[in-house]
Copies of this chain bind each other. A is one copy, B any other.
Amino acid sequence: MTETEVVWRMPEWLPRELELSAPRHDDVSKMRLAIEVAARNVVHGGGPFGAVIFDAVTGEVVAAGANWVIEQRCSLLHAEVAAIAFAQRRLNTHSLATGNYELVASSDPCAQCLGALVWSGVRRILCGAQASDAEAIGFDEGPRREDWVSELERRGIRVTRGLLAGEARAVLQAYAARGGPIYNGPGASG
């Protein structure tokens, strides 16, 4: 037991290659950025998932994340988890419920991220591709409840799904086509 720190790093390409300073006021523009994060992440060797947390009032980007599981050697580092961690660090709070924040993800949340976003304090999630799209290329979405949408909504989190689903799905399919590793699928050992 010698490790005293776990450090997650924002890849330097992310703020350089994406326009993160311009506010976005409509759902489609927000989702387009999340999909762009996913697509650029694949180019840089990461997983085909992106997520962005916006201030719903100002439209500003609070944090962005992508799937950095393999690159940063941490199974937790899904796009949604990364965005939540960087947003909470930026705002210096463990709960985004102190404001009005929304999480925009290029795909439906897996079992882990579904739980993570409940505790994060976001008020709304927007999803692009469906879980079945990720499963179609071999990803396991984990043990989620069938009624996860209503479980979120009864906890005060609004859910919008299928936004720009075709564009979001295209990133997953491009990842599969280039032979990207499916690191959590059945029988995967890493």
Q: Which A residues lie at the B interface, using CB under 8 A?
A: 1-10, 12, 15, 20-21, 61-64, 69-70, 72-77, 81, 84-86, 88-90, 92-95, 97-98, 110-116, 118-121, 140, 142-145, 147-148, 151-152, 155, 183-184, 186, 188-190
The reply to whether A111 and B115 contact each other, CB–CB distance below 8 Å, is yes
The reply to whether A95 and B1 contact each other, CB–CB distance below 8 Å, is no
The 7 A-B pairs at the shortest CB distance, nearest first, are namely A112-B115, A95-B190, A111-B115, A143-B151, A75-B119, A6-B8, A6-B85
Contact of A1 among B64, B111, B115, B147 (CB under 8 A): B64
The reply to whether B116 and A114 contact each other, CB–CB distance below 8 Å, is no
Contact of A118 among B6, B98, B143 (CB under 8 A): B143
A-B contact pairs, 18 of them (CB 8 A): A2-B90, A3-B89, A7-B8, A70-B94, A73-B92, A74-B89, A74-B94, A75-B84, A75-B94, A75-B119, A75-B121, A76-B85, A77-B94, A93-B190, A112-B115, A113-B115, A143-B148, A155-B186
Bound-state CA distance A4–B7 (Å) is 10
Bound-state CA distance A113–B143 (Å) is 11
The reply to whether A115 and B95 contact each other, CB–CB distance below 8 Å, is no
Known pairs A2-B90, A72-B94, A142-B151 / 14 extra A-B pairs, C-beta < 8 Å: A3-B86, A5-B10, A6-B89, A7-B8, A69-B119, A76-B119, A110-B119, A111-B111, A115-B115, A115-B142, A115-B144, A118-B184, A119-B142, A143-B147
